[in-house]
C-alpha cells in the first residue's frame, strides 16, 4: 500500500465514522438510547482517530487504515441497530448478517501487524478468506426468512435453502480463520529476531489480553451483582484498549516495559480467575447450607479469598516471570545470589556490575557509586565513571539518599532498571562505603608521608633561619663581649656596647619571627583578634565574622592557618574583589569558611599550599572541602573537631 493510498483510506474511514456517529446520535436521542450509543461512538471514534494518527506517522503501513476500519465497522453496526425497523426490507435482511464485521478488522490486524506484511505467502488465503467469508455469509443470510420482517420475497426453490446452507457453512470457516489469524501472530513472533518487532507484537498481545479480562468481569458481575451490566465496561475498555495498544506499539514501543506489563496482566488475571473460582465454590456451598443471601456466606468467601491471595500470587508470579519476563527474574536472582556469595566470602560486592551485565546480557551496563560528600559518580575501582547520559541513568536510593546510579546500556527498560535499582541498594551502599574507606586509607598514608616531608622541610628551614639569622647575631654579640673584656678605651667600649645591644635586639626579632611561624603570637589575644589582625593588611576588602568561645589551642592554630592560606591565595591568584571569612563554633565542630568572588578554578594539586593545608586539617582530625567553579569564585570550608 502506498503512502498516499493509506492516507486517503484512513481519512475516508475516519470521515465515514464521524458521519455515522452524528447520524447515530440523532437516532439514539429519538429512541432514548443515547447512553448505549455514546459508548459505541466513543469506541469507534477513538479507534478511527488513532488509525488516522498512525497513518500520519507511519505512511504506507496498512496498520493505520486497519485501525480506522476497526472503528468504522462497530460504528456501522451500532447505527444499523439504532435504525432497525425504519430501513428498507433488503437492508434489514443484510443487517442481520453483517455482525461478522466485528471480527474481520481485528483478525486482519493480527495478520498484518506490525510491518504491514503477511508472515508468508501461504497466509494470503487467510487474508482473502476474511474478506470473502463475511461477504458470502451476508449474501446467504439474505435468504433466511427470519431476516425479512414482512416476509421474504419469492425465490426459486433450490436457491434459498442452498444459499442458507452455504451461509451456515461460513460459521466454522470464520472460526478457523480467526484461529489462523491468532496463530499468525505467534508464528511472526517466533520468526522475528528484531527486539523492536517482538516488543510491538507483545504490545498488541497485551491489548488482546483485555478480551479474557472482559469475560472475568462478566463472571464477577454475575457473581456479585446478579446482572451483566459490568460487561459493557469491559467491552468499552477492550474496544479502546486494543487500538491504543496497537498505536503505542507502532509509535512508542519503548514507552513502558511491555514484558513487565504483560507478566503483571497475566499474573493478576490468573489470580483473579482463581479467587473468583474459590469465591464461587465457597458461596455455592454456603448458599446450600445457609441460604443464598446469607451475610455469613459472603463474609466467609471473602475471608478465604483474602487468605489465599498472598500465597497464590507467589505461586503464580514465579512461573509467569520465568516464561514471560525471564530477564527480570534472571537479574533479581543474580543480585540475590551475589548477596549470599558476598556474605559467605565467595564473591566481592564490587562484582555487582559484572553480575548484572551477565544477567541482562548487556555488556554496556554500568553501576556508578556516589561517595559521601561527592558530586560525581565513580566506578567500583574508585575511578571516574565517565560520561553518563541522563536519559539512560536511574538513581539508586537508600533511605531517601542517592547513593549511586544504574546506567542502562543497550537492553533493559527504565521500569526494569528502576526495579533493579531498588534491589541493588544494599550492595551499592556496601561498595561505596568500601571505596570511601579505601580512599580515606590512601589519603591517610599519603597525608602521613606529606606531613613527614613537611616536618623535615620545616626543620631544615628552622635550621637555616637560625644559622643565618639569630645564630649569626649571637656570634657577633659574643665577639663584641670578647672585645669588651680587653678593656678598650672608654669611647670604644660605648660603641661595642651599643653594637651588642643592637645585635641582641636583632636576634630577639629574628627569634620572634621564627616563633611566630610556629605559633602566631597574635593568638595570645584570642582567635577573633588574631584573624582581624591578619586581614588588616590585606589590600582587598575582607568581611570577618567570628563566633567562637574557648577554642582549644591546637584548633585555633589550625583555623588561623586555614584563613591565612585561603586569604593569601585569594589575593595572589584569584584576583578577588571581596573576601568573606566566617568562623563559627558549632559545639562539637568548629567550621571555618573563606569565600571570594575571584576567577575560581582552584585545584588541590599535590605539593601545593592547598594540599599542605588539607594535610594540616586532616592531622587535626578535620575535613577540608574546596569548591571553585571556573569564573564563579572559590570557597574553602574546613570542619575541625572542637571539644570546647
Q: What is the dihedral of CA 615, 617, 622, 626, to 10 degrees?
A: -80
Mean pLDDT over 288-314 rounds to 66
* CA-based max dimension of the chain: 168
Give the single-character DSSP code of 121. Answer: G
Confidence of residue 155 (pLDDT cuts 50, 70, 90): low
> Based on the number of CB atoms within 10 Å of its own CB, is 398 exposed (0-12), middle (13-18) or buried (19 or more)?
middle
Instruction: Kindly state the helix (H) or strand (E) to which residue 189 belongs, with its residue range.
Output: helix 159-191
Q: Supply the pLDDT for residue 592.
A: 92
When mean pLDDT is compared across 48-62, 159-173, 237-251, the lowest value belongs to: 159-173
Residue 58 pLDDT more than 80?
yes
Cis bond leading into 589, ω under 30°?
no
The pLDDT score that the predictor gives to residue 217 is: 67
Q: Read off the pLDDT band of 567 (50, 70, 90).
A: confident
CA distances from 118 to 68, 104, 134, 184, 204 (A): 19, 15, 20, 8, 16
Average pLDDT on 513-527 reads 68
DSSP, residue by residue, 327-382? HHHHHHHHHHHHHHHHHHTSS-GGGHHHHHHHHHT-TT-EEEEE-TT--SEE-TTS
Lowest mean pLDDT of 24-33, 105-114, 199-208, 630-639, name the range.
24-33
Q: What are phi and psi of 405, to 5 degrees?
A: -155, 150
Strands 634-641 and 393-398: unpaired
Report yes or no on whether pTM surpasses 0.85: no
pLDDT of residue 107: 86
* Top-confidence range, 134-143, 158-167, 214-223: 134-143
| Distance separating alpha carbons of residues 56 and 59, to the nearest angstrom | 6
Question: Is the per-residue pLDDT at 249 higher than 90?
Answer: no
Q: What pLDDT sits at residue 24?
A: 82
Q: Which of 274-288, 358-372, 415-429 has the lowest mean pLDDT?
A: 274-288
Indicate if the pLDDT at residue 234 is higher than 80: no
Judged on CB neighbours under 10 Å (0-12, 13-18, 19+), 419 is middle
385: pLDDT confidence band, cut at 50, 70 and 90? Answer: confident
Q: Distance between CA 521 and CA 514 in Å, rounded?
A: 11
Alpha carbon 269 to chain centroid distance?
Answer: 27
Average pLDDT, the chain: 78
Alpha helices in 252-293 (DSSP H): 258-290
Give the C-alpha separation, 535 to 543, whole Å. Answer: 9
| Beta strand spans in 166-235 (E) | none
Give the pLDDT confidence score for residue 37 in this predicted structure.
Answer: 75
Mean pLDDT for 327-342 is 84
User: How many CA atoms are closer than 13 Å to the CA of 517, on its beta-carbon side?
Assistant: 11
Please give the share of the chain, as a percent, with pLDDT higher than 70: 75
Q: How confident is the model at residue 605 (pLDDT cuts 50, 70, 90)?
A: confident
- 580 — pLDDT class (breaks 50, 70, 90): very high
DSSP tally for the chain: helices H, then strands E:
21, 9
471-485 and 490-518 helices, crossing angle to 10°: 160
User: Between residues 583 and 262, which one has the greater pLDDT?
Assistant: 583
pLDDT > 90: percent of the chain: 3
Q: What is the mean pLDDT of residues 329-352?
A: 85
Query: Cα(233)–Cα(343) distance, rounded to whole angstroms?
Result: 52
Long-range (24+ apart) CB contacts under 8 A made by 21-30 are 21/45, 21/75, 23/79, 24/75, 24/78, 24/79, 24/82, 27/79, 27/82, 27/83, 28/82
Is the confidence at residue 593, as pLDDT, over 90? yes
DSSP state of 451: H
Cell (9 digits) for 147: 431476516
What is the pLDDT confidence band of residue 596, given thresholds at 50, 70 and 90?
very high
Judge whether 559 and 541 are in contact, CB under 8 Å: no
Q: Tell me what the mean pLDDT of segment 82-93 comes to.
A: 71
- 542 bridge partner residues: 579
Distance CA 376, CA 405 (A): 11
Look at 102-106, 267-271, 299-303, 357-361 and tell me which has the smallest mean pLDDT: 299-303
Amino acid at each position: 500500500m502506498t503512502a498516499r493510498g493509506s492516507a486517503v483510506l484512513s481519512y475516508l474511514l475516519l470521515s465515514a465514522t464521524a458521519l455515522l456517529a452524528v447520524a447515530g446520535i440523532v437516532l439514539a436521542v429519538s429512541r432514548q438510547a443515547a447512553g448505549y450509543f455514546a459508548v459505541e461512538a466513543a469506541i469507534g471514534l477513538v479507534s478511527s482517530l488513532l488509525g488516522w494518527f498512525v497513518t500520519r506517522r507511519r505512511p504506507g503501513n496498512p496498520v493505520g487504515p486497519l485501525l480506522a476500519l476497526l472503528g468504522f465497522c462497530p460504528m456501522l453496526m451500532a447505527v444499523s441497530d439504532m435504525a432497525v425497523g425504519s430501513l428498507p426490507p433488503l437492508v434489514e435482511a443484510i443487517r442481520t448478517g453483517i455482525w461478522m464485521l466485528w471480527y474481520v478488522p481485528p483478525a486482519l490486524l493480527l495478520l498484518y501487524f506490525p510491518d504491514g506484511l503477511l508472515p508468508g505467502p501461504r497466509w494470503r488465503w487467510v487474508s482473502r478468506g476474511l474478506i470473502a467469508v463475511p461477504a458470502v455469509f451476508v449474501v446467504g443470510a439474505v435468504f433466511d426468512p427470519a431476516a425479512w420482517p414482512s416476509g421474504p420475497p419469492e425465490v426459486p426453490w433450490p436457491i434459498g435453502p442452498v444459499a442458507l446452507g452455504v451461509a451456515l457453512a461460513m460459521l466454522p470457516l470464520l472460526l478457523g480463520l480467526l484461529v489462523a489469524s491468532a496463530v499468525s501472530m505467534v508464528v511472526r513472533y517466533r520468526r522475528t529476531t528484531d527486539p523492536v518487532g517482538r516488543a510491538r507484537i507483545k504490545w498488541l498481545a497485551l491489548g488482546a489480553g483485555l478480551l479474557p479480562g472482559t469475560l472475568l468481569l462478566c463472571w464477577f458481575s454475575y457473581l456479585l451483582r446478579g446482572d451483566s451490566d459490568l460487561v459493557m465496561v469491559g467491552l468499552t475498555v477492550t474496544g479502546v484498549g486494543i487500538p491504543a495498544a496497537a498505536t503505542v506499539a507502532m509509535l512508542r514501543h519503548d514507552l513502558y516495559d511491555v514484558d513487565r506489563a504483560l507478566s503483571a496482566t497475566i499474573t493478576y488475571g490468573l489470580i483473579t480467575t482463581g479467587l473468583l473460582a474459590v469465591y464461587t465454590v465457597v458461596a455455592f456451598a454456603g448458599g446450600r447450607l445457609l441460604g443464598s443471601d446469607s451475610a455469613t456466606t459472603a463474609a466467609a468467601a471473602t475471608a478465604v479469598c483474602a487468605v489465599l491471595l498472598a500465597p497464590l500470587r507467589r505461586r503464580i508470579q514465579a512461573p509467569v516471570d520465568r516464561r514471560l519476563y525471564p530477564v527480570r527474574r534472571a537479574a533479581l536472582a543474580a543480585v540475590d545470589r551475589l548477596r549470599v556469595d558476598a556474605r559467605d566470602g565467595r564473591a566481592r560486592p564490587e562484582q555487582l556490575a559484572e553480575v548484572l551485565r551477565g544477567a541482562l546480557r548487556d555488556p554496556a551496563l554500568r553501576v556508578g557509586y556516589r561517595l559521601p560528600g561527592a558530586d560525581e559518580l565513580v566506578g567500583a575501582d574508585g575511578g571516574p565513571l565517565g560520561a553518563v547520559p541522563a536519559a539512560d541513568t536511574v538513581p539508586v536510593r537508600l533511605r531517601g539518599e542517592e547513593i549511586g546510579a544504574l546506567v542502562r546500556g543497550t537492553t533493559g527498560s527504565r521500569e526494569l532498571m528502576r526495579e533493579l535499582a531498588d534491589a541493588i541498594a544494599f550492595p551499592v551502599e556496601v561498595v561505596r562505603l568500601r571505596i570511601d574507606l579505601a580512599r580515606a586509607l590512601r589519603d591517610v598514608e599519603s597525608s602521613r608521608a606529606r606531613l613527614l616531608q613537611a616536618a623535615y622541610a620545616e626543620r631544615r628551614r628552622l635550621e637555616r633561619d637560625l644559622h643565618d639569622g639569630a645564630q649569626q647575631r649571637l656570634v657577633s654579640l659574643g665577639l663584641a663581649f670578647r672585645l669588651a673584656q680587653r678593656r678598650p678605651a672608654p669611647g670604644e667600649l660605648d660603641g661595642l656596647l651599643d653594637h651588642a645591644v643592637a645585635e641582641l635586639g636583632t636576634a630577639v626579632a629574628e627569634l620572634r619571627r621564627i616563633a611566630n611561624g610556629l605559633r602566631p603570637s597574635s593568638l595570645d589575644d584570642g582567635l577573633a583578634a588574631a584573624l582581624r589582625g591578619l586581614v588588616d593588611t590585606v589590600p582587598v576588602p575582607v568581611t570577618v565574622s567570628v563566633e567562637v568561645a574557648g577554642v582549644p589551642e591546637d584548633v585555633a592554630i589550625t583555623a588561623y592557618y586555614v584563613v591565612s592560606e585561603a586569604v593569601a591565595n585569594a589575593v595572589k591568584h584569584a584576583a578577588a574583589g571581596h573576601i568573606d571569612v566566617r568562623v563559627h563554633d558549632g559545639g562539637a565542630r568548629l567550621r571555618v569558611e573563606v569565600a571570594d568572588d575571584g576567577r575560581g578554578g582552584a585545584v588541590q594539586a599535590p605539593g601545593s599550599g592547598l594540599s599542605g593545608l588539607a594535610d594540616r586539617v586532616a592531622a587535626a582530625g578535620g575535613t577540608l572541602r574546596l569548591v571553585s567553579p571556573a569564573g564563579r569564585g572559590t570557597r574553602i570550608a574546613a570542619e575541625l573537631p572542637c571539644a570546647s
